Amino acid sequence: MNKVILYDKYYFTEYYHKYYRQGANGSPSPRHFIAYMKNGSADIKSERKTIHANEGDVFYIPKGMKYYSYWYGQPDIRFLSIGFDEFNINRFASFDLQRVEATETMVEKLLKIPLVSNDIDCRALSLFYDALSEIVPLLAPSPDLRDSDGADKIKSAIRKNPHAKMSEIASICSVSEPYIYSVFKRALGITPNQYRQAVICDMASELLANTDLSVEDISSRLGFSSSSYFRKVLYKYTGRSPREIRRSSFN
């Protein structure tokens, strides 16, 4: 086994501290990590969630995730840190920061992994993947960010083309019109037309605050069928009348 190739892809070690220590400071995790708390406890915080691990807990930190870690002991803090570069399973697999339901067998297998960083051999890898085979089936997948990314792209197109038909927005984004409605429902809980009206109301608020145009002129410019309907929609999305918006701009 070529250890020169492997040494930077795996890192099996045990950490020991006293009382309290802040570890990671918001930098991306250089590897995937499986950790086992032997003594003490820890808080691991990402941008989206926080997990707390007590003695006897197993937890997972995904590669590339920015996180902060805080470690507590009375007085000892001891934890196994099993770092690895790739899962070597389905290339589409993606898992979230999480505690893993630790089983006795899982912990036994983790404790058998040699604590080596620069001398990885076949035996160490065999024991590591044996432990990983217990853990992977219990890992919860990462939230699917594709809906969020798709919604952001569509929102940007609507902001740039607020009066375009939804079929035209679909063409701009190279997606189908039904996809637009479904992704907005899943990612935002609103319809694209509701988002469009909110964008137009933002434009109306800007015109009311920064120009002397009449309500009728603004209503017509923004494509409303009547000034009364404009007032109704504006109040729905801003909670204020045109007069209140204009008055507040002078305060």
Summarize pLDDT for 155-165 with one digit per residue, the tens: 999 999 999 99
- Give the three-class secondary structure for 32: strand
Going by pLDDT thresholds of 50, 70 and 90, the confidence category of residue 38 is very high
> Which segments of the chain belong to CATH 2.60.120.280?
3-138
pLDDT tens, position by position, 229-246: 999 999 988 888 998 888
Do residues 117 and 12 make contact, with C-beta atoms less than 8 angstroms apart? Answer: yes
Residue intervals of the chain classified under CATH 1.10.10.60 are: 146-248
Which run of H or of E encompasses 208? Answer: helix 192-210
Q: Which of 91-95, 219-223, 233-237 has the lowest mean pLDDT?
A: 91-95
Question: In the predicted model, is pLDDT for residue 13 greater than 70?
Answer: yes
Determine the distance from the C-alpha atom of residue 45 to the mean position of all C-alpha atoms in its chain, rounded to a whole number.
12
Q: What secondary structure does DSSP assign to 130-184, as a single string?
A: HHHHHHGGGPPBPP--HHHHHHHHHHHHHHH-TTS-HHHHHHHHTS-HHHHHHHH
Name the residue among 232, 236, 243 with its Cα closest to residue 209.
243
pLDDT recorded at residue 170: 86
For all residues of the chain together, what is the average pLDDT? 86
> What percent of the chain is modeled with pLDDT above 70?
89
> Which residues, listed in sequence order, are joined to residue 50 by a DSSP beta bridge?
45
Right CATH for 146-248 from 1.10.10.60, 3.40.630.30, 1.10.10.10, 3.40.50.300? 1.10.10.60
Whole-model pTM: value is: 0.57
> Tens digit of pLDDT for each residue in 136-162?
888 887 665 556 677 888 899 999 999
- Is pLDDT at 7 greater than 60 in this prediction? no
Which one-letter DSSP state was computed for residue 250? T
Nearest to 80 by CA among 44, 51, 125, 114: 114
Please state, in angstroms and rounded to a whole number, the distance separating the CA atoms of residues 9 and 174. Answer: 39
Position 230 scores a pLDDT of 92
Residue 114 and residue 182: Cα distance in Å, rounded? 49
Residues contacting 30, CB < 8 A, separation 6+: 63, 83
- Could you give the C-alpha distances from 171 to 125, 155, 159, 178, 187, in angstroms and in order? 50, 14, 15, 12, 20
Model confidence band, residue 96 (pLDDT cutoffs 50, 70, 90): confident
Query: What was the pLDDT predicted at 123?
Result: 86
For residue 69, the cross-strand partners are: 44
Among the ranges given (63-72, 84-93, 137-146), the one the predictor scored with the smallest mean pLDDT: 84-93
What residues contact residue 111 under an 8 Å CB cut-off, 6+ apart?
Answer: 36, 80
> Is the link from the previous residue into 137 a cis peptide, with omega within 30 of 0?
no
Class of residue 45 by CB neighbours under 10 A (exposed 0-12, middle 13-18, buried 19+): middle
Integer Cα distance of 233 and 176 in angstroms = 28
What confidence category does residue 88 fall into, taking pLDDT thresholds of 50, 70 and 90? Answer: low
- Looking at domain 3-138, its CATH architecture is Sandwich (2.60)
- 61 closest CA partner among 47, 44, 48: 44
